[in-house]
Structure 1
Amino acid sequence: MSNNTVGSSGPAPGKIRGPGRPPKRTCTWCAESKTPLKYVLPTENGKKEFCSETCLSEFRQAYSKGACLHCDNVIRGNAPSSSKNFCSTYCLNKYQKKNEKRTSSPQSGNGANGTENHANNNSTGSFYDIYQAFDWNEYMKDTNSVAASQECFKQAPMPPVNDFKVGMKLEALDPRNLTSTCIATVVGVLGPRLRLRLDGSDNKNDFWRLVDAGDIHPIGHCERNDGMLQPPLGFRMNASSWPMFLLKTLNGAEMAPAKVFQPEPPTPKSNVFVVGQKLEAVDKKNPQLICCATVGAVKNDQIHVTFDGWRGAFDYWCRYDSRDIFPVGWCARAGHPLQPPGQKSATTPSRLS
């Protein structure tokens, strides 16, 4: 499975780079020249590469509002006033010339239909369509399998709306010390999920939470419940400096408003998973990824999650009410990328040892 990537980005097959530095590519969003660009977003017309999750997230939000019909890039402020479907007058003119050639062709009927479909897809601004290349129904038919029902999961039937923004602060339990409530900052947004970083910690300890998780709250929740904010495990400064650090951290910061937190869904009454059922599950070793998976075993209140097309090094046991497992089709509904079976970027042998 890939390491800190949303997709794979590498040299085209058959091309061999010569000595020296590899050529730099630019981030699709911020246009900075960096190598490598670790984050890749597949689109209907190829792939977009990014230098960070923040750039990927910002691009996704803009892309969901509509993409240029010619170059498939986001439409910014320099869009021509004559059409809202193009990022620039240059692309508008190019598209019109290309369309004129199609309509003058003997096969203009097919071309026109294809153009119309593409225009419809982009004008709706549906980012969700990008990730529907994987057909669960076809896959389950081919594998003679069935999906675990919605009732098995502690997940809302409709994925919650994510109105958080990168940079917002909130309170969260320290995942390495569940007795401590800490200040966290949103450093990434992906579908209904948040990438959080505990203030006073580093990026090596980032973790992911759903917007309807029960262990994240607005600033002030801990104090209202007679608790006290704690420094994260491995706080990089002297413990005595924590009060002043906390004061500086919160001074002038953007607090996540209470309205963006969603209520936690109810817990299923019992474990009703059955061996062989399909689901979508977080890859614990690369938690930004959600992958196609199967229930490999069931024991009391636990299920064994096995990832389709991958050796057992990534499999794990979890409670049946884990928030890291989802019903089939959740990613498509949530606008979250789904890693199909065995299609992630190449795994190094050391990861499988």
Structure 2
Amino acid sequence: MKLNYVCLITRVKQVGKKRPGGPHKIVICTWCNETKLPLKYVYPTKNGKKDFCSETCLAEFRKAYKKGACILCLQCDNLIKANNSPSKDYCSTYCMIKHQTKDMQMRLEAKTPAAPLKGSPEPLQYEICQPFDWNEYFRETNSVPAPQNCFKQATSPPINEFKVGMKLEALDPRNVTSTCIATVISILGPRLRLRLDGSDNKNDFWRLVDSSDIHPIGHCEKSGGMLQPPMGFRMIASSWPMFLLKTLNGAEIAPSKIFHKEPVGPRANLFQTGQKLEAIDKNNPQLICCATVGAVKNDQIHVTFDGWKGAFDYWCKYDSRDIFPVGWCAESGHPMQPPGQKNNSGTNKCVVNLNFILD
């Protein structure tokens, strides 16, 4: 009998039965997450069967699944709950990190990294590290974190629903008075690597999904402005209108609903010297690293990277979007670089280095 993904209701083996040589297998209802035994109802999906505790749960799941509104986690294949998921593809930050790490390890073993987009920069050097224990690090260094209210960051990191190849409007970082068309080149946690259309891969830049520097297509016109060619436009200026028409024709436009409002920042500089934070390495902006407030002066703070020489340090405003509270990376699913040149703690040692493409 051909199932063809129609509803199949059948009695399954009692879940609580102990397996030989192993612990009890715990299975929960896919829809309500309850462990009501036995789970009598099963629905087959492309990735295997799903168990349910009642006909009501099964019916609700089936209705959502057929409409395409029911999305399953890429890692564990469980139902994604929008209220606690870090992105539309994973049910939890744990699954996001586990799936991305497994994908990177598979590429390393195969020695065939994914092909970069045409014109993309060379593969980024990155590190797969053991989970960094901030609490242990605070005890080792006798330090404290900078409070959340010091930062211009959302209390909970925003969900990133952008896709590679989507088009949007962005301020030219080399000329912030110009609004240009940009393309999403890669995604990392709540961050986007963007390339201005008409520019080259040497001028890619990163923005948070809740940055005020990015907007949906049409925002500039509604605000009374005009889209401009990026600084260093590779063609003659008179060809810009035709280039703009061609680059938007048939392109995937980022929907306005996936943009987030920029959070309100603190009214004053509340940082204190010695406090810990997580900060973007401006020499390698794909990296977020363990850092310390080295000094405070008026509305500026001096960011120093733990375990590295001062060549990477920089001054920035207290409300910079390049600095984050401790734990932001872990909560958002963005990898964090631990202190460099540390040999006194196993939590700071990286397992393996590899090159891969952020795609």
- Structure 1 stretches lacking a partner, 5+ long: 1-76, 85-118, 347-353
Work out the CA distance in 2 between the residues paired with 1:286 and 1:192.
17
What does 1:62-211 correspond to in 2, within 5 Å? 81=48, 126-128=95-97, 133-211=131-209
Query: Secondary structure of the equivalent of 2:198?
Result: coil
Work out the CA distance in 1 between the residues paired with 2:336 and 2:252.
31
Residues 313 and 267 of structure 1, relative CA distance in 2, 3 Å threshold: same
Letter paired with 1:272: L
After TM superposition, the score normalised by the length of structure 2 is 0.62
1:228 deviates by 0.4
1:222 deviates by 0.3
Work out the CA distance in 1 between the residues paired with 2:275 and 2:95.
29
Other-structure match for 2:109: none
Work out the CA distance in 2 between the residues paired with 1:333 and 1:248.
39
1:331/1:338 contact within 8 Å kept: yes
Query: Secondary structure of the equivalent of 2:186?
Result: strand
1:171/1:219 contact within 8 Å kept: yes
Other-structure match for 1:111: none
Letter paired with 2:241: P
Other-structure match for 2:249: 251
> Cα RMSD (Å) of the superposition?
2.5
Other-structure match for 1:329: 327
Other-structure match for 1:308: 306
Work out the CA distance in 1 between the residues paired with 2:173 and 2:179.
10
Other-structure match for 2:61: none
Residues 161 and 82 of structure 1, relative CA distance in 2, 3 Å threshold: closer
1:128 deviates by 4.1
Letter paired with 2:95: S
1:127 deviates by 2.4
Work out the CA distance in 2 between the residues paired with 1:183 and 1:318.
27
Letter paired with 1:240: S
1:150/1:157 contact within 8 Å kept: yes
Query: Secondary structure of the equivalent of 2:278?
Result: strand
Other-structure match for 1:105: none
Query: Secondary structure of the equivalent of 2:241?
Result: helix
Q: What's the CA shift string for 1:260-288, capped at 9, x where partnerless? A: 00010001110010000000000000000
1:128/1:334 contact within 8 Å kept: no
Work out the CA distance in 2 between the residues paired with 1:207 and 1:238.
23
1:133 deviates by 1.0
Letter paired with 2:234: R
Q: What's the CA shift string for 1:76-116, capped at 9, x where partnerless? A: x996x4799xxxxxxxxxxxxxxxxxxxxxxxxxxxxxxxx
Query: Secondary structure of the equivalent of 2:171?
Result: strand
Q: What's the CA shift string for 1:134-153, capped at 9, x where partnerless? A: 00010011000000000000
Other-structure match for 1:89: none
What does 1:191-270 correspond to in 2, within 5 Å? 191-270=189-268
After TM superposition, the score normalised by the length of structure 1 is 0.63
1:215 deviates by 1.1
Instruction: Name whichever structure is richer in helix by fraction.
Output: 1
1:132/1:332 contact within 8 Å kept: no
Residues 132 and 249 of structure 1, relative CA distance in 2, 3 Å threshold: same
1:170/1:256 contact within 8 Å kept: yes
Query: Secondary structure of the equivalent of 1:155?
Result: coil
1:185/1:198 contact within 8 Å kept: yes
Pick one of 317, 320, 328 that aligns with 1:319.
Answer: 317
1:328 deviates by 0.1
- Structure 2 stretches lacking a partner, 5+ long: 1-44, 52-75, 78-89, 102-128, 341-348, 354-359
Letter paired with 1:133: P
Letter paired with 1:256: A
Letter paired with 1:281: A
1:289 deviates by 0.2
Percent identity over the alignment? 73
1:280 to 2:278 alignment = yes
1:123 deviates by 9.8
Other-structure match for 1:54: none
1:181/1:230 contact within 8 Å kept: yes
Other-structure match for 2:16: none
Letter paired with 1:150: Q
Q: What's the CA shift string for 1:227-274, capped at 9, x where partnerless? A: 000000000001110000000000111110000000100011100100
Query: Secondary structure of the equivalent of 1:209?
Result: strand
Q: What's the CA shift string for 1:190-245, capped at 9, x where partnerless? A: 00000000000011100000000011000000000110000000000011100000
Residues 123 and 242 of structure 1, relative CA distance in 2, 3 Å threshold: closer
Letter paired with 2:332: A
Query: Secondary structure of the equivalent of 1:126?
Result: helix
Letter paired with 1:293: A
Query: Secondary structure of the equivalent of 1:292?
Result: strand
Work out the CA distance in 1 between the residues paired with 2:272 and 2:203.
34
Query: Secondary structure of the equivalent of 2:261?
Result: coil
